[in-house]
Amino acid sequence: MKKLPALILLILPSFFTTQVRASEQPPVPAEMVRGHVRMVLMSVGQTTVFLNSPTQPDPKSKRAVPCFTVTYLLEFLGDRPFKTTQAGQIEITSGGKPFEPVNFQHGNYQKSFDYRVYPDFLDFTKPKVADASRAIIFQNVTFAAIPSLQPFDLRIRAGFDEEMQDFKFTSISLKPEHP
């Protein structure tokens, strides 16, 4: 009889741990090295922006535009000099098939940030690098909606000078799974 409470105390924590883990998203391998190029996927998300436009009929209301945003770090490894950074194509696939965004509105917007001045945000810190002068952070915004593809894969083509590489991140989900 005394062994039963002890057994329950041993089993109970593992049951709760299993329940918590089952409700979390599976980890996404977010860091890859191809040749001399390292890429770290920092964020992927679907948001909505509200346009400021002087031609809108009602200045108190704004048009909502869906945006699919991908932020990643690109680092040139080693000490070989480079002249140009090439941030490239982003392709989404689901079930192995290429996927086109829905409600494609105004094209793409891409911005680059010097690693040294890119701010940390809340509990998310930028990835550590060997040499900050050889790293850059890119943010690519596609003005379109991405439907609930669960999960999807993301391929980013980028690099330095002539060394362009393909990086494929798999099993990305835009919304957390619920038990």
CA distance readout (Å), 106 to 22, 30, 109 = 39, 28, 9
- Of residues 73 and 151, more confidence is placed in 73
How many angstroms separate the CA atoms of 108 and 68, rounded? 10
What pLDDT score was predicted for residue 86? Answer: 85
Long-range contacts (CB closer than 8 Å, 24 or more residues apart) made by 13-18: none
What pLDDT score was predicted for residue 18? Answer: 37
Q: Which of 101, 93, 99 is nearest to 152 (CA)?
A: 93
**Residue pLDDT, tens place only, 5-55:** 343 333 333 333 333 344 455 566 789 999 999 999 999 988 888 877 666
What pLDDT score was predicted for residue 42? Answer: 93
Domains, the chain, ordered by start: 28-172 (2.60.40)
What pLDDT score was predicted for residue 121? Answer: 77
* For residues 53-62, average pLDDT: 67
Percent of the chain with pLDDT over 90: 34
